[in-house]
Amino acid sequence: MTGAALQLHGVTKLYRSGRRFFGGVPVSAVDGVSLSIAPGETLGIVGESGSGKSTLGRIAAGIEAPSAGEVLFDGRQYARPGSTAWRKERRFVQLVFQNPADALDPRIRVREQVAGALAAHERLPPAERRRRVEDILHRVGLAEIAGRVPQQLSGGQLQRAVIARALVLQPRLLVCDEAVSALDVSVQAQVINLLMSLRTAFGLSLVFITHDLSVARHISDRIAVMRAGRIVETGDPDTLFSTPREDYTKRLVAAIPAMRHAPPVRPAAAERIAL
């Protein structure tokens, strides 16, 4: 694959607020955003609550259609959400949300849920399906406990299960929406390390949405700062944190005291964190 893996051109998303009888007032959650993501790149999207970053993530993943603008995945527009073509696209674009417990069936063993996702999207011989499932469970560190149901797993293990279910399909784009915000700091580091390792192994493009700038700095090749539905600044992590241009970005960086004097941390360093 050449060129950009994902392109957003002038993407806008409007919702209606107010009294439904009068049609409501249009409110812009995303306002004219243009972005591109290269194959194998991790783009961090940061911003405060209500900035529109989660809505942008759903649009980037093809789960929601924009009100205006264009979204291209691998050079082609996403199919209409809910259509047959759209369901076929889900194999290649996957999401990981904040709360993994809500994404998993509490009654079904993890191994079966991962296998079920694969069976829903690909017809494979049973032996090949088992091989793919066991391979991804091994990669995420769940091979020994995949026979458990979700309530028997910790928060970090649940998120690994969700990641395994997404990546068993061998997607080309993974969108993570606050995927580590519910985890404690030590488990966050482990999951970030895992995502970085899997990105390399699978050649993934990754959109990583977070309100935590320090997390975005560790995992991202580039960071886009979002405010009130717009991208106000984009840059590589070292430059953005050392010399931010926009006042809003400066305030976000200044709000993290430990980062004011912290040396740059690049992904290669984060990969050395032991699982």
3-state secondary structure of 250: helix
Pairing type for strands 6-17 and 68-73 reads: antiparallel
At 164, list the tokens: 């395994």
What's the pLDDT band for 263 if we cut at 50, 70, 90? very low
Q: What is the pLDDT of residue 2?
A: 47
Q: Which CATH number fits domain 1-92+173-275: 3.30.360.10, 3.40.50.300, 3.40.50.2020, 2.40.30.170?
A: 3.40.50.300
Q: What is the pLDDT of residue 22?
A: 54
Q: What is the pLDDT of residue 268?
A: 43
- Share above pLDDT 70 across residues of the chain, in percent, rounded to a whole number: 89
Radius of gyration from C-alpha coordinates of the chain? 19
What's the pLDDT band for 265 if we cut at 50, 70, 90? very low
Domain ranges in the chain?
1-92+173-275, 99-170
The lowest-confidence range among 27-36, 75-84, 219-228, 261-270 is: 261-270
- Mean pLDDT value of segment 176-187: 88
What's the pLDDT band for 272 if we cut at 50, 70, 90? very low
Instruction: Say if residues 118 and 124 touch (Cβ distance below 8 Å).
Output: yes
The model's pTM: 0.87
What's the pLDDT band for 258 if we cut at 50, 70, 90? low
Q: Where are the alpha helices (DSSP H) in the chain?
A: 53-60, 84-89, 100-103, 110-121, 126-139, 155-167, 185-202, 213-219, 237-242, 247-254, 267-270
Q: What is the pLDDT of residue 26?
A: 81
Q: Identify the residue with better confidence: 117 or 25.
A: 117
CA distance 229 to 94: 23
CA distance 239 to 110: 41
